[in-house]
Amino acid sequence: MSDFTSLVDLKNKTVHPRVFVDPEIYKAEQEKLFGRCWLFIGHESQVPNQGDYVTTYMGEEPVIFVKDRSDRLRVFLNSCRHRGVKVCRKDHGNTKIFTCPYHGWSYNTEGGLQGVPQIREAYHNDLDKDKWGLIEVPRVESHYGLVFACFDEESQSLTEYLGSFAFYLDLILRRSKGGTVSTPGTHRWRMPGNWKLASEQFAGDNYHADTLHRSPNLIGLGPDEYRGGTPWDTDFEAKCSNGHGWINFHLPSEDIPPVQAEYMKQLEKEAQEVLPPRQAALINGVQVGTIFPNFSILGFLGFTTIRVWHPRGPKEMEVWSWGLIERDAPPEIVEITRKMQCLTFSPSGIFEQDDGCVWGEITDTLSGQNRINYPLNYQMGAGHGKELADKPGLLHPPSTEIGVFGYHEHWREMMGRK
Amino acid sequence: MNSFDLRQEFEEFFIKEAWLLDNDKYDEWLDLFDDDTRYWAPVRENLDRGNENFAKPHLLSHFDDNKMTLGFRVKRLATGYAHAEEPPSRTRHFVSNVQILEKETDRVRVESNFIVFRGRPGKDETFFVGVRRDWWRKDPTGWINEERMVIFDHDVIESITIFF
Ligand code: FES
Ligand SMILES: [Fe+2]
C-alpha cells in the first residue's frame, strides 16, 4: 500500500498535485474516506411519511434513503442481492416494497427479502431469506434535519464527527424555532474537476471571490456589496476539527431588498430566543462551509444551498444541490430564495459557472508530467490563526487558507489510517 | 392568419433568433423579451410514467429569469470577466419541429425542439437537447416573448453558460 501522507506537507503547507489527479489515490479515497466518513444523505423533510424514499449516492455507490414502517430512517445499497440490479430506479416516491426488475426478488422498507419468485419450485425452499436482505449502511444519524450515514460501524457518532463545526452549522439549522426543510427539487450536474477542489473551496477559500467572481461584482450583484463587519468578531474563517471549515462575514443592513431585510431581522430576533447570544450575534451574514469530505453549505439573506460533490473519477464530479429554508418562512421568502438559488448557485448560477470552469482546468494542468512535480501553495495566514473564547476553531479574518489547508491535513490523516 | 402560415412565420423567426444567439447579438436577443417574461427550465426527474408535472408552481429550475435577471446574465458576459465564457463558447442552435400549440387573438403558444452545440477551448464539446414551449405576443414592433419554458432532456446536466 502506498503512503499518501507525504503528499500533504505539514511544515511547508503545500499539497502535491497528485492528490487531485492520481487514479490510485482516487481509488484509495473510496475506501479510506467514503468508506469511513459520515456522508450526507438527505434532509429528513424529503421523506416525511412511512415508505417515502429518495435515491442518491454515497461516493460512487447508489443508495436508497427510506423511512421504514416504524418511522426509522434507513439507508441501503441500491443493489439486489441476487445479481446486483438496482431495486429502485426512481428519484423519489413512496412504496411498501422494492421489487427487482430482473428476476423479481422484493424487499420491504426494512430491507428484508420478502418475495422470491419460484422459491418452492426452483429453490426447493432452500433459500434462507433472512440472510439475503438489502445491504444496509450501518450508521444513520441526523443533525437538526440533515441526515448523514456512515459505512464504518466503529465510527464516532455524527455529533462527535461534527465536533466544533456544529456551532457554525447551527447558525443556519437552528436559527429559527421551526428549524429548516429542504425545498423541492434537486439540481444535478456534472463538471470536470476533482471533487476535493469544490470541497476545499467551501471549507475556507474566500480569497477567490474578488477575482473569480468579479463579473457579478461589476454588475452590482457580487460579494463587494457584502463586506462590512468586524474582523475576528463577525468576519472570520474557522478551521474546525475533522477537516471541517467555515467562512463567515457580516452583511450590512443597507442595500438589502426590504422584504429580505425584514425577514433577516425577524430571524435574528428568533435566534436570540433559541440560540446562545454568541451564536445569535452571527446570524446575519454570508456563511459558507464544508463538512469533510464532500458536503458543503452556503447561505446569505435567507437563501441557503446545501450540496454534495459526488466523486466521479479523479477528474470529474457530479454536484447534487438543494435549497434549504425555515419551515415557517413566508411564501414570498420561499419564492425569492428559490429565484436566488436559480440565479446564483445552480448549473447556470452566475457564481457557480465560474467556480466550475476553473476546477476542470486545474485537473487538466496538474496532470502534466512536469507540473505534477511542483507542489501547490496553501501558506496564506499560516501561523497567524488565533483561538478565541467566543467561538470554536482556529480563526483568522478573510482571507486565509488556514481552513483550506486544515481540510487537507485531515485528508492526510484519514489517508494514513490503516 | 392560418396555422400553416403562422408555423412558417415562426420557423423563420426562430432561425433569426438562433442567428442572434450564435453571433453574439445578445442585446438584440434580449429585446425580444417582455419585462416580466419567464425564461425558465424546470429540473427533470426520473419518476413513474406521467408523473413529471411542469404545471406545478415554484418548480426548481436550472434558471428562472425575468427580463431583468436575464439582462444580468447578458451584462455579465459583456464585463469580460465571466470566466466560464472566456474565451466565448462557439454555439450553434438548431431549431426544428415547430408547432403552434394554441392561438389567441394576439398571442400564440409555440413549441420547438432544439439541439445546441457548445464548443469550448480544448475540444470541450457539449450538446444540449430539449424542447422549448413559448408564449409570444404580437406587438406593433413584432413578436414579444411572454414565456419560454426550456425542457431539457438531460437529468444530470452540464454547466449552463449559454442561452436557449
Ligand atoms: S438480480 Fe434482482 S432478482 Fe435477480
Ligand atoms: Fe466561488
CATH number of domain containing A59: 2.102.10.10
B43 and A188 within 8 Å at the Cβ level: the answer is yes
All residues of chain B having their beta carbon less than 8 Å from the beta carbon of residue A88 are none
Task: Kindly state whether residues A172 and A259 are assigned to the same domain.
Answer: yes
Task: Specify the residue for cell string 400549440.
Answer: B101
CB pairs under 8 A between A and B: 119
Burial tier of A120 (Cβ tally within 10 Å: 0-12, 13-18, 19+): exposed
> Which residues of chain A neighbour B118 with C-beta distances below 8 Å?
none
The count of structural domains within chain A is 2
- Does residue B37 form part of some domain? yes
Residues 6+ apart with CB under 8 A from A155: A36, A37, A38, A139, A161
In this predicted structure, what is the pLDDT of residue A224?
61
Kindly report the CA angle at B75 between B69 and B80, in degrees rounded to 5? Answer: 140
Whole-number pLDDT of residue A257: 85
| Res. B47: pLDDT tops 90 | yes
Residues A114 and A178 in one domain: no
**pLDDT for A95:** 98
Question: How far is B121 from A279, CA to CA, in rounded Å?
Answer: 46
Give the whole-angstrom CA distance, residue A290 versus residue A410: 13
| Nearest chain A Cα distance for residue B102, angstroms | 28
Hey, how many other C-beta atoms are within 10 angstroms of the C-beta on A122? 12
Nearest chain B CA: its distance from A88 CA (Å): 11
Determine the Cα–Cα distance for residues A121 and A168; give it in Å rounded to an integer: 59
Q: What is the structure's pLDDT at A339?
A: 97
Nearest-by-Cβ selection for A342 from B64, B156, B157: B64
Beta strands in chain B (DSSP E): 33-42, 61-65, 90-103, 107-120, 124-139, 142-152, 157-158
Q: Are residues A304 and A339 located together in one domain of the fold?
A: yes
Does the residue B49 lie in any domain? no
Q: Is residue A246 part of a domain?
A: yes
Rounded Cα distance, A68 and A94, in Å: 11
- Chain A residues in contact with B65 by the CB 8 A cut-off are 342-343
Q: Are residues A168 and A125 in the same domain?
A: no
Check CB contact under 8 Å for B76 and A216.
Answer: yes
Integer Rg of chain B from CA: 16
Are A245 and A403 contacting, i.e. CB atoms less than 8 angstroms apart?
yes
Final residue belonging to a domain, choices A126, A141, A156: A141
Ligand 1 pocket: which of A78, A81, A98, A100 to mutate (most atoms within 8 A of CB): A100
Judge whether residue A171 has pLDDT over 60: yes
Residues A91 and A175 in one domain: no
Residue B7, domain member (yes or no)? yes
**pLDDT above 60 for A165:** yes
Which residues in A65-79 are b (16+ Cβ under 10 Å) and which e? bbbbeeeebbbbbbb
Cis geometry, peptide bond prior to residue A293 (ω within 30 degrees of 0): yes
Higher pLDDT pick, A227 / B87: B87
**Residue of the nearest CA to atom 3 in ligand 1?**
A103
> Do A361 and A225 share a structural domain?
yes
**Is residue A249 within 8 Å of A271, Cβ to Cβ?**
no
B54 within some domain: no
Judgement on whether residues A191 and A49 belong to the same structural domain of the protein? no
The continuous run of DSSP H or E covering A39 comes out as: strand A39-43
Q: Separation of A307 CA from ligand 2 center, angstroms? A: 14
Query: Contact at 8 Å (CB) between A348 and B160?
Result: yes
Pocket of ligand 1 (CB under 6 A): A 80, 82-83, 85, 100, 102-105
3-state class (DSSP) for residue A392: coil
Question: CA-to-CA distance for A125 and A19, rounded, in angstroms?
Answer: 51
Domain span holding position A294: 164-416
Query: For position A255, what pLDDT does the model report?
Result: 73
Q: Please tell me which of the candidates A218, A338, A348 has its beta carbon nearest to residue B62.
A: A348
Interface of A with B (CB under 8 A): 89-93, 183-192, 212, 214-216, 218-219, 221, 318, 323, 334-335, 338-339, 341-343, 346-348, 350, 352-354, 356-358, 360, 364
Same domain (yes/no): A260, A296:
yes
* This prediction's pTM: 0.97
Tally of domains within chain B: 1
Whether the pLDDT of residue A111 is over 90: the answer is: yes
Whether the per-residue pLDDT at A25 is higher than 80: the answer is: yes
* A108 & A221 share domain: no
Residues A39 and A414: beta-carbon distance below 8 Å: no
CA B125 to ligand 1 centroid distance, Å: 38
- B103, β-bridge pairs: B108
CA triplet B101, B107, B111: central angle to 5 degrees?
Answer: 30
Question: How confident is the model over B34-62, as a mean pLDDT?
Answer: 96
* Residue indicated by cell numbers 452540464: B158
Residue B4 has what pLDDT? 75
Domain extent, residue B64, equals: 3-42+59-152
User: Would you state the cell numbers that stand for residue B103, as one nine-digit string?
Assistant: 392561438
Measured between beta carbons, the chain B residues lying within 8 angstroms of A221 are 72
In chain B, whose CA is at the least distance from the CA of A336?
Answer: B58
Q: Are residues A191 and A99 in the same domain?
A: no
A348 contacts B83? CB cut-off 8 A? no
**Do both A137 and A168 map to the same domain?**
no
Mean pLDDT value of segment A365-369: 96
Please tell me whether residues A326 and A380 are part of one structural domain: yes
Task: Cell 474537476: give the residue.
Answer: A193
Residue A3 within a domain: no
Of the candidates A108, A141, A174, which is a domain's last residue?
A141
Q: Phi and psi of A108, rounded to 5°?
A: -85, 180
B109, three cell numbers:
403558444
CATH number (domain holding residue B130): 3.10.450.50
A214 inside domain: yes
Within-domain flag for B161? no
| Residue B122 within any structural domain of the chain | yes
Q: Which residues in chain A touch residue B155, judged by CB atoms under 8 angstroms apart?
A: 91, 188
- Does A254 fall in a domain? yes
Name the least confident of A116-120, A139-143, A253-257, A336-340.
A253-257
Residues near B120 by beta carbon (within 8 Å), at least 6 away in sequence? B89, B126
**Boundary-marking domain end, from A110, A141, A172:** A141
